[in-house]
Structure 1
């Protein structure tokens, strides 16, 4: 019985996902401000489709990578809502400078005590390479920077220490 329920659920999820993916492409062309030609818009819509198509796996990865009290069970819902809002207000003259950290953004942070800057590019797990400054949005640093804003001060909790930082600059870098 459980197996048949699981198979039904996976089929339902697959059908539902494909409907959402079509909705995003239609919405991108019809209601979300004129043009899909801008690379930033195209990249963010691709992110929404990817997240929607892989939501179960991404939620499982997110929950496995996040400690108990830090778990945000509506994380992807909040992320999607933020991107939808950004796309609704999108103007094709936007520069790559951003106010909010999204996947694909390069974030400049200032370590408050040392007065030193460092840049990270927030990416999907399969593109992460910490040596090059590409950190997964599921990593401790990436997870805490995502959806934060320019000028925001926070305490980054890393496996080694807690560090006070300020977000100095956000620029969209990865046009998928």
Structure 2
């Protein structure tokens, strides 16, 4: 484990935490359209995400490094196995400004992104998407995202 890589990763996670602390209301107004049930869902997800980041950042580098393969964060690439047909596909969970459907970069606010964020390896979840519902198992998580969100 390279110390400078872990330092950069730690700084990146801190910037995510600062973003959600300082700019969440601006972000929310721009990207979440429903102020009812959707607001509760997004607020709860962001609250759990911030708590997770705080917990991870309190860990030593070795524990943090291992944890980056055990939980889906913004910037994680997640390989899922579709249980019905055995097909595997990878998604990278990103900020809404960084989506790229052609490369499976999905917003954490999208239906699939919300379900993958904070999930762990071997978790079985039901992915609900506009085209249907699929039972999937998370096979692998790799944290690699090094961009910053700007509203």
TM-score (norm 2): 0.82
Q: Is the 8 Å Cα contact of residues 101 and 146 (structure 1) preserved in structure 2?
A: yes
Structure-to-structure mapping, 1:162-173, within 5 angstroms: 162-173=133-144
Q: d(CA) in 2 for partners of 1:66 and 1:116?
A: 36
CA separation of 1:40/1:89 partners in 2, compared to 1, >3 Å: closer, same or farther? same
1:99 Cα deviation (Å)?
0.5
How many positions carry a matched residue from both structures?
A: 142
User: Where in structure 2 are the equivalents of 1:11-160 lying within 5 Å?
Assistant: 38-60=7-29, 63-64=32-33, 68=37, 71-72=40-41, 73-92=43-62, 94=65, 97-160=68-131
Q: Does 1:174 align with 2:145?
A: yes
- Structure 2 residue matching 1:115: 3-state secondary structure: coil
Q: CA 1:117–1:76 in 2, change beyond 3 Å: closer, same or farther? A: same
Greater radius of gyration (CA): 1
For structure 2, list consecutive stretches of 5 or more residues without a partner in the other structure.
none
Deviation at 1:114, TM superposition (A): 1.0
* Inter-CA distance 66–92: structure 2 relative to 1 (3 Å threshold): farther
Structure 1: unaligned runs, 5 residues or longer? 1-34
Describe the superposition over 1:106-127 as per-residue Cα deviations: whole angstroms up to 9, x where unpaired.
0000001110110111110111
The runs of 4+ residues in structure 1 deviating greater than 6 Å are: none
- Whole-Å separation in 1 of the counterparts to 2:67 and 2:146: 10
Determine if contact 1:96/1:172 at 8 Å carries over to the other structure: no
Secondary structure of 1:74's counterpart equals helix
Confirm or deny: 8 A CA contact 1:101 1:170 kept in the other structure. yes
Query: 1:21-44 deviations in whole A, cap 9, x for unaligned?
Result: xxxxxxxxxxxxxx9962211111
Q: After alignment, is 73-82 or 125-134 more displaced?
A: 73-82
- TM-superposed CA distance for 1:51, in Å, is 1.8
